[in-house]
Structure 1
Amino acid sequence: MAIQPSIRDYLADVARRLDAAPHGGTGTIVSDAASFLGWSHSKLYSRLKADVGWSSGRKVRADKGTSKVDGATLEMLGAVQRECVRANGKQILHTPDAVSILDTNGYDIPVSSTQVNRLLKARRLNVAAQKAADPVQSLRSLHPNHVHQVDPSLCVLYYLPNGRQAMMEADKFYKNKLSNYAKVKLKVWRYVIYDHTSSTIYARYVEAAGESPANLFDFLMWAWGRQEGREFHGVPKILMWDKGSANTATAIKSLLEALDVTPIEHAAGRARVKGGVENGNNIFECKFESRLKLEPVETVEELNAAALAWANAFNNNMINRQDNRLHRPGMAPTARMDLWRRIRQDQLRLLPDVEVCRATLEGREEQRTVHPKLHISYRHPASDMRQLYSVKGLDGICAQDKVTVRPLLFGDCAITIRIPVFNGEDKVYRLEPERNFDEFGFAGTAPVIGEEYKAMPDTGIEKAAKKMDELAYPEQDAKKAREKQEAPFGGALDAHSHLKDVALPAFLPRRGSELSMPDHLHVEAQPLNLVQAATALKSLIPDWDGEKYQQLAQLYPDGVMEADLPLVVDRLTRAPRLRVVGGA
């Protein structure tokens, strides 16, 4: 802030007196000067340094920059306040309340809220610093048509049912009167294209209820194709736009992939990434559409014709009493189209026929199976017959693999093939069809029978197999080793021996249920004859003798069932012995 010359002269006199004052004599001079000027001591010192270059020469305190409040607590204070900022940017939790809350939760904050604010500001932890705009990085494109930006915007124009032009006035169309927007069934949308290198801008208007992939396709075809009365044309390498639903539609993505255009979508809330086209929308609204109030047009067709005429004049710096040249550091002011005309032949990619482009809108990804001869068959939209595409030597592709095929619109019936890999990132290759065939339809690269031999290159499967063979049979011919039935890995792997030493868990026997078998499966048991029964009982009865045999014969003359042997043992060992009584 500038000060009056008289005050500067006074400050210079104060500075001279301070320099000449003896030790301990500066305090009175400072107090008198501060009182005279109505300033605080700190402001006086600040103005002395800023306006007359005087400094006290005092050493900086050794503890400058330190605080009783530790850094972690300050970061917590900043985070608490930052989390209480609404979407509209309003801060609803301020320092006194934040200090109170954290103090209640055990944080030590032995300074005032005012000092806390100073500490937060010095460390860029305050809400105001966090809300400040992020630094902007300048971006560079390499040549005209390297990067285009596209953005649709709702126009202030609309057309009444009778065809009359009308404008959305601010007092009738604003956020609290959204119903008025709904009443306008067909609104006018402005699609703007911006060439990053030359800053050339063109626009086309569409009457529609909203954004749609169909309208976006028509605009891109118009913007990139040759148009009568417009020099600007050509397909870019990169297209920058936002995440609108029309932009991310599968059909539009298919078109861009076919045209070999890389789409770059900016993050939500980062519209300044494509600030060129955003400014282009503003230019059309302020510099062109403002003229329509004075000279209305009756139809969208008339509107587009007027917009093209104005854009041609603007880009060529031919609008009366206006300097619309591009002003950049290190470059003389230049008309935008003069910059665009510096494009080289290899940089100007011509748009294919619109109907061929339209065919890619279907977004169809066709599946093809890799032939054992390592090729696929595919009919390109620009061809009237199927053609062969070789995949020999392509990493990750083997015979019988399924690959996804999409046509490209630049190149000789070029395609992209995509195959998924284990890490989740697909491998993508660009191919063109085989053209080297002889008059009999044989590939010119194939070996001639009896003259030469060419082994097919190893596929991914074969490469993996060779690595595993080397692991299983190091420094050996794996095929011969298998024929000899040699143990792989040198027999060093313990595959089952360790199972002998496994400590099985202790368990209680489980009760089971008897199975009922069908009658025809039952086998009728036969009784043991006396000799068989005696043989079995002899091992069960220690004192077996002839007398017990006589008892067995008397009790079981027809034999004994094997299941009844325990009962027989009980009877023979407990029953009284029978005596033979003689007669006559």
Structure 2
Amino acid sequence: MRKRVPAPVAEVIVNTGQSVASAARGERGALVAAAAQATGRSRATVYRHMRAMSVQPARRQRADAGTTSVTREEALAISELLMAAMRKNNKRLMTVADALQVLRYDGSVRCERVDPATGEVSPLSAAAVERALRLYGVHPRQLLRPAPTTEMQSLHPNHVWQIDASLCVLYYLSNGQAVGDGLQVLDADKFYKNKPKALERVEAERVWRYVVTDHYSGALFVHYVMGAESALNLAESFIAAICQRTVGGQADPFHGVPLMVYMDRGAANTSGMARNLFRRLQVRQEAHMPGAPWATGQVEKAQDIVERKFEAALRFQPVHSLAQLNDSARCWARHFNASAEHSRHGRTRTDLWLTIAPEQLRVAPAPELCRELLTHEPVARRITQTLTVEFKGREYDLRPALQQLGDVMVGEKLLVTYNPYATASACIVEVAEDGSERLIAIPQVERNDAGLRTDAPVFGLGFAAMPQTAADRHRSEIARRTYDAATDEEAERARKAKALPFGGRIDPLRQAREAVLPTPIPKRGTPLQPTVQAPAAAAEPRLLTHFEATRELTALGVAMNPERVSQLRAWHPEGVPEDQLATLQHRLTVRAGLRVVGGVAANE
């Protein structure tokens, strides 16, 4: 703030300024020196006050103002070098003078001026070159200015939410082994970039802060998690924000499922788990392009508000657990939303959020169902003959949604999922060509104690025909076309009268009768000479020697002894036919089992 000049001093300076303006050359210095001595101020201060308290004449503009000897190509070359030598944090590492020296030595630029009177060529100074860069609009400071942005609007509370995660740089939750367990301050003397191991030691205990803001009202919600920015932590924070909750025994008004969430393109925000949760809750997810933090400026500012207004107060109050930290954060957020006036609309955030209409407030399902939706995928279910589908042990009716579903047929399959906003219904999922999903609600079938549908017609009191499916319509259309009938009744009468389909116009054998086939060249054959041949005589069995026969019978299980060999020779003195081996086996075995007792043969 500029110091106020006392009135007596100001009077002396104003009078001196008027005298200096009309004084001759060489007298101005003495007048200024006298004023400095009278006011007790330096000559420079007197000159400064004189300029501030008098109207200065317009400064005469140079004749060559707005022109430069630097060509645009030279300006671009210098700007390219300056921008290429810049750090990622936009810190300039090279000055214009350094870039000019490098490019002049390289021969890329000259940056010279020619005296029109003498023709003398002299190099331009770094300041002149810098002015040329500004003249062409390629100075690094000009190029680093942000691009114009478009201001967006939301239509009502819970239309658009913004979500952002930030590492809590001031605190970490101790594991209880250190002195003063609970929320600990990251002491700058112990934790900084030159002591990476100190940070690694508490890395798993660092606290992450998720902030959710309603774009329309500015209402905010804070949720703290441990670990890192992950899809699971994002989901837990989002579920905590949308579900109804009580703070200090009173309901927090800020809740419900938004129509759209807007966030950055972090890996956790665009993960399959997060996208699946948003899709199942019928929330549109949008992510801004990298390098555009102003796109979610509201939630970025909310992060700053939480850090300065809530976390600063934690130094004076011990926090021993993550649950206690979240309870304190929700208590503070509820009070802040209800008491702090928003600069944009001039009302408290809660006051404006409460203007939400009933159809705009989508009440979130139970947290347990929300967590199941993280990994839930629609399942394929077959349509029964009563136009129902089964899902999670319950039966759902397709008839009320037939007009929306379009062509459905008995036996076909549909994708079914939860309806998170009505537990007594499910949703049919229709996937468009671009991958977007359309959800159609179908009610649950109610049955009585006897297992019968409560909405079914009663015998003797009425009958309700099932609505036509696509198969029914196609079947009727084909029947009418088959019998050239205008109505289904005419087609049925023609079918019962055994009328010719298509009026006899279609002859399936016509093609065979009228076909002109190529005439094949006759093939030469060989006459068949039938002959009667007598059946060939059976071959004589091979004659085995007595030794060969004995060996074969032994292989068949007959215990051959000298007595049996003698018997074999007696039966077949010339040799044993091979086909008699089975007979001999039986004869020798039976005879061995008989003995004579009292003139009668008996089994041994």
TM class by shorter chain equals: 0.5 to 0.7
Contact 1:223 1:233 in 2 (8 A): yes
Letter aligned with residue 357 of structure 1: C
Q: Distance in 1 between matches of 2:301 and 2:347?
A: 18
Contact 1:158 1:168 in 2 (8 A): no
Partner of 2:76: helix, strand, or coil?
helix
Q: Distance in 2 between matches of 1:434 and 1:302?
A: 41
Q: In the TM superposition, what is the alpha-carbon distance from 1:100 to its structure 2 partner?
A: 3.8
Q: In the TM superposition, what is the alpha-carbon distance from 1:363 to its structure 2 partner?
A: 5.2
Give the match for residue 327 of structure 1. 343
Structure 1 residue 264 and structure 2 residue 281: aligned? no
Q: Distance in 2 between matches of 1:368 and 1:85?
A: 59
Structure 1 residue 71 and structure 2 residue 89: aligned? no
Contact 1:144 1:196 in 2 (8 A): yes
Give the match for residue 514 of structure 2. none
Structure 1 residue 250 and structure 2 residue 272: aligned? yes
Q: Distance in 1 between matches of 2:94 and 2:141?
A: 13
Q: Distance in 1 between matches of 2:60 and 2:200?
A: 70
Contact 2:72 2:136 in 1 (8 A): no
Partner of 2:343: helix, strand, or coil?
strand
Q: In the TM superposition, what is the alpha-carbon distance from 1:182 to its structure 2 partner?
A: 1.9
Q: Distance in 1 between matches of 2:19 and 2:429?
A: 81
Q: Distance in 2 between matches of 1:241 and 1:386?
A: 38
Structure 1 gaps of 5+ residues are 18-27, 39-43, 318-323, 456-479, 481-584
Contact 2:396 2:443 in 1 (8 A): no
Structure 1 residue 275 and structure 2 residue 297: aligned? yes
Q: Distance in 1 between matches of 2:357 and 2:58?
A: 61
Partner of 1:191: helix, strand, or coil?
strand
Q: In the TM superposition, what is the alpha-carbon distance from 1:449 to its structure 2 partner?
A: 8.2
Q: Distance in 1 between matches of 2:147 and 2:28?
A: 43
Q: How does 1:226-245 map to 2 (within 5 A)?
A: 226-228=244-246, 229=250, 230-245=252-267
Q: How does 1:120-139 map to 2 (within 5 A)?
A: 120-135=133-148, 137-139=150-152
Letter aligned with residue 342 of structure 2: L
Q: In the TM superposition, what is the alpha-carbon distance from 1:431 to its structure 2 partner?
A: 4.3
Letter aligned with residue 87 of structure 2: R
Give the match for residue 208 of structure 2. 189
Give the match for residue 598 of structure 2. none
Q: How does 1:500-511 map to 2 (within 5 A)?
A: none
Letter aligned with residue 341 of structure 2: R
Q: Distance in 2 between matches of 1:253 and 1:87?
A: 31
User: Alpha-carbon deviations, 1:331-361, whole Å to 9, x = none?
Assistant: 4x42221121111112111112333333321
Give the match for residue 343 of structure 1. 356
Q: In the TM superposition, what is the alpha-carbon distance from 1:82 to its structure 2 partner?
A: 1.1
Please point out which of 230, 234, 246 is paired with 1:216: 234
Give the match for residue 375 of structure 2. 362
- Aligned CA distance change for structure 1 residues 428 and 117 (closer, same or farther; 3 Å): same
Q: Distance in 2 between matches of 1:32 and 1:441?
A: 115
Letter aligned with residue 138 of structure 2: L
Contact 2:243 2:256 in 1 (8 A): yes
Give the match for residue 320 of structure 1. none
Partner of 1:316: helix, strand, or coil?
helix
Letter aligned with residue 223 of structure 2: R
Q: Distance in 2 between matches of 1:261 and 1:197?
A: 17
Q: How does 1:87-98 map to 2 (within 5 A)?
A: 87-98=88-99
Q: In the TM superposition, what is the alpha-carbon distance from 1:366 to its structure 2 partner?
A: 6.0
Indicate the RMSD between aligned Cα atoms, in angstroms. 4.9
Q: In the TM superposition, what is the alpha-carbon distance from 1:86 to its structure 2 partner?
A: 1.1
Give the match for residue 81 of structure 1. 82
User: Alpha-carbon deviations, 1:228-267, whole Å to 9, x = none?
Assistant: 2322111112212222322222011011122222222233
Q: In the TM superposition, what is the alpha-carbon distance from 1:220 to its structure 2 partner?
A: 1.4
Give the match for residue 563 of structure 1. none
- Aligned CA distance change for structure 1 residues 202 and 106 (closer, same or farther; 3 Å): closer
Q: In the TM superposition, what is the alpha-carbon distance from 1:227 to its structure 2 partner?
A: 0.7
User: Alpha-carbon deviations, 1:165-200, whole Å to 9, x = none?
Assistant: 422222222222232222123333322222222222
Q: Distance in 2 between matches of 1:189 and 1:37?
A: 64
Identity %: 27
Give the match for residue 223 of structure 2. 204
Please point out which of 304, 307, 326 is paired with 1:285: 307
Q: Distance in 1 between matches of 2:418 and 2:54?
A: 71
Partner of 1:326: helix, strand, or coil?
coil
Structure 2 gaps of 5+ residues are 34-46, 114-123, 446-454, 458-463, 480-505, 507-604
User: Which is greater in Rg?
Assistant: 2
Q: How does 1:153-552 map to 2 (within 5 A)?
A: 153-155=166-168, 156-162=171-177, 163-184=181-202, 185-206=204-225, 208-228=226-246, 229=250, 230-317=252-339, 324-328=340-344, 331=345, 333-362=346-375, 364=377, 384-385=395-396, 409=420, 413-420=426-433, 425-426=434-435, 429-432=438-441, 442-444=466-468
Q: Distance in 1 between matches of 2:277 and 2:474?
A: 48
Q: Distance in 2 between matches of 1:452 and 1:435?
A: 30
Contact 1:379 1:386 in 2 (8 A): no
Contact 2:74 2:108 in 1 (8 A): no
Q: Distance in 1 between matches of 2:132 and 2:67?
A: 10
Farther off after superposition, 383-392 or 222-231: 383-392
Structure 1 residue 55 and structure 2 residue 55: aligned? no
Q: In the TM superposition, what is the alpha-carbon distance from 1:226 to its structure 2 partner?
A: 0.7
Q: Distance in 1 between matches of 2:276 and 2:288?
A: 19
Q: Distance in 1 between matches of 2:219 and 2:324?
A: 22
How many residues end up aligned between the 2 structures? 419
- Aligned CA distance change for structure 1 residues 233 and 35 (closer, same or farther; 3 Å): farther
Q: Distance in 2 between matches of 1:387 and 1:105?
A: 79
Q: Distance in 2 between matches of 1:434 and 1:297?
A: 47
Q: Distance in 2 between matches of 1:296 and 1:450?
A: 73
Q: Distance in 2 between matches of 1:427 and 1:205?
A: 32
- Aligned CA distance change for structure 1 residues 13 and 154 (closer, same or farther; 3 Å): same
Partner of 1:361: helix, strand, or coil?
coil
Partner of 1:226: helix, strand, or coil?
coil
Give the match for residue 110 of structure 1. 112
- Aligned CA distance change for structure 1 residues 13 and 415 (closer, same or farther; 3 Å): farther
Partner of 2:352: helix, strand, or coil?
helix
Partner of 2:257: helix, strand, or coil?
coil
Q: Distance in 2 between matches of 1:360 and 1:310?
A: 30
Q: In the TM superposition, what is the alpha-carbon distance from 1:95 to its structure 2 partner?
A: 2.1
Q: Distance in 2 between matches of 1:76 and 1:377?
A: 72
Contact 1:382 1:413 in 2 (8 A): no
Contact 2:259 2:283 in 1 (8 A): yes
Q: Distance in 1 between matches of 2:439 and 2:354?
A: 31
Give the match for residue 40 of structure 2. none
Partner of 1:154: helix, strand, or coil?
strand
Contact 1:368 1:404 in 2 (8 A): yes
TM-score by length of 2: 0.57
Letter aligned with residue 55 of structure 1: A
Contact 1:356 1:381 in 2 (8 A): no
Partner of 2:157: helix, strand, or coil?
coil
Contact 2:397 2:442 in 1 (8 A): no
Q: In the TM superposition, what is the alpha-carbon distance from 1:105 to its structure 2 partner?
A: 4.1
Q: In the TM superposition, what is the alpha-carbon distance from 1:224 to its structure 2 partner?
A: 0.5
Letter aligned with residue 99 of structure 2: A
Partner of 2:70: helix, strand, or coil?
coil
Contact 2:172 2:205 in 1 (8 A): no
Partner of 2:370: helix, strand, or coil?
helix
- Aligned CA distance change for structure 1 residues 449 and 382 (closer, same or farther; 3 Å): closer
Letter aligned with residue 88 of structure 1: N
Contact 2:430 2:439 in 1 (8 A): yes
Partner of 1:119: helix, strand, or coil?
helix
Partner of 2:112: helix, strand, or coil?
coil
- Aligned CA distance change for structure 1 residues 314 and 407 (closer, same or farther; 3 Å): same
Partner of 2:221: helix, strand, or coil?
strand
